[in-house]
Amino acid sequence: MSTSLTTPQQDPDLNTPLGGVSLTAGQLPRGAAPTTLVAAGLAGLLLWFLADWDIVPCALLAAAAYVVIIYTWSRAVEGPRKATDRFVTAAVSGAFLLALLPLVSVIFTVVSRGVVRFDSEFFTYSMVGVTSEGGGIYHAMMGTLIITGLATLISVPIGMLTAIYLVEYGRGKLAKAITFFVDVMTGIPSIVAGLFAYALFVMMFGPGVRMGMAGAVALSVLMIPTVVRSTEEMLKLVPNELREASYALAVPKWRTILKVVLPTALAGIATGVTLAIARVIGETAPLLVTAGLTDGDNFDPFDGRMTTLSVFSYYEYQSPGLFAEASFDRAWGAALVLIIIVMVLNLVARAISKLFAPKTR
């Protein structure tokens, strides 16, 4: 019988301290941090309600109180290393919350001030003959669509072909140079892109030129590097086995790229292009110097000034005229339309990459 060899079963006694030291000694009690946080928050609220302080100093004071209390408490009980850890945790979380503040504030302001002018007139009228209230952004919306559309037509072929060159053909110095300068190009200030397009069109059409096409060229300068980057990333993700299988069937390289590589990466490329459009559709500065501003409808990108949403919003705010409130309302309305377009484009991009992602197996 082997059972007799084993010592009698005994449950280990977890409650009695081993050698007089509890397992949880040298630690703050469970829930110490949240409790302190809530206490500090309540104290801050009390100051806000009873002492009638501003909310900002109250919040700062509560946060500082939490940090000081948790640090000293932890230092006394747990030692300096854990105390530093708790301090950094509080600081990092605080920094994150601090950074969320402007985002919340921006969205709240734009929505609350922008919805004032969300009526049918705003979306169907232009600004011809409008001097006081009323008027709309139809011409600006069309201008934005035309200029951004043209910029997309220019940038997507160039950007995609460059990415194909870099991934499928590019070797040696030329490829390295292109990669490097595409990276550098992402950092070109938008106003410089605008000046470039202006200078280019001055050479073709004479000084003082303003036209939608120049705006499209300026936006392309900003858009091409983004398209190249995202397309390149996506093409690199296409498994080499697919290319080799295609070559093994004696398919020429260009047909392999067109029929095998590109369809596999298409969802990712579409996502990248959508994000690139979202990035340039809100640009103001390059359009200010190239496309200018006009009150009426102008749907011909080669003929004269063309209004876009961002430039419209800027001018309505910068030079409001006699009926300032009406102008400001239009400016905020246009800003809200712009931010909605950008958010929708971002969501569309996510949806494309989710829905149309290639099945890897």
Residues 172-231 within binding reach of another protein (CB under 8 A): 174-175, 177-178, 180-193, 195-196, 198-200, 202-203, 207-208, 221, 224-225, 228
CB of 111 to another protein, least distance (A): 11
Compute how many residues bind another protein; rule: CB under 8 A: 94
Please report whether residue 55 would count as binding another protein according to CB under 8 A.
no
Residue from 36, 148, 226, 310 that binds another protein (CB under 8 A)? 310
> Which runs of consecutive H residues, i.e. helices, occur in 283-323?
285-290, 309-318
Cα–Cα dist 275/234, whole Å:
14
Cα–Cα dist 105/86, whole Å:
29
- 240's CB contacts (< 8 A; 6+ apart) are none
CB of 73 to another protein, least distance (A): 16
Residue from 68, 76, 88, 351 that binds another protein (CB under 8 A)? 88
CB of 229 to another protein, least distance (A): 12
Nearer to another protein (CB atom), residue 221 or residue 238: 221
Nearer to another protein (CB atom), residue 42 or residue 106: 106
Please report whether residue 236 would count as binding another protein according to CB under 8 A.
no
CB of 349 to another protein, least distance (A): 10
Cα–Cα dist 312/334, whole Å:
8
Nearer to another protein (CB atom), residue 113 or residue 358: 113
> Which runs of consecutive H residues, i.e. helices, occur in 20-137?
32-49, 55-77, 80-114, 120-124
Nearer to another protein (CB atom), residue 42 or residue 347: 347
Please report whether residue 292 would count as binding another protein according to CB under 8 A.
yes
Nearer to another protein (CB atom), residue 100 or residue 237: 100
Residue from 318, 359, 360, 361 that binds another protein (CB under 8 A)? 318
Nearer to another protein (CB atom), residue 8 or residue 102: 102
Q: Residue-wise over 115-138: b if at least 16 C-beta within 10 A, else e?
A: eebeeeebeebbbeebeeebbbbb
The answer to whether 231 and 138 have CB atoms below 8 angstroms apart is no
The answer to whether 131 and 321 have CB atoms below 8 angstroms apart is yes
Q: What Cα–Cα distance (Å) separates residue 71 from each residue in 77, 95, 110, 157, 228?
A: 10, 17, 39, 57, 49
The answer to whether 137 and 330 have CB atoms below 8 angstroms apart is yes
- 249's CB contacts (< 8 A; 6+ apart) are none
CB of 331 to another protein, least distance (A): 7
Footprint of another protein on 262-281 (CB under 8 A): 275, 278-279, 281
Nearer to another protein (CB atom), residue 138 or residue 317: 317
Footprint of another protein on 97-126 (CB under 8 A): 98-100, 102-103, 105-106, 109-110, 113
Nearer to another protein (CB atom), residue 42 or residue 79: 79
Interface with another protein by CB under 8 A: which range of 31-39, 78-86, 136-144, 230-238?
Answer: 78-86
292: left (phi over 0), alpha (psi -120 to 50) or beta: left
Residue from 22, 89, 131, 132 that binds another protein (CB under 8 A)? 89
- 128's CB contacts (< 8 A; 6+ apart) are 295, 296, 297
Amino acid occupying residue 234? M
Please report whether residue 77 would count as binding another protein according to CB under 8 A.
no
Going by C-alpha positions, the residue among 101, 139, 83 that lies closest to residue 330 is 139
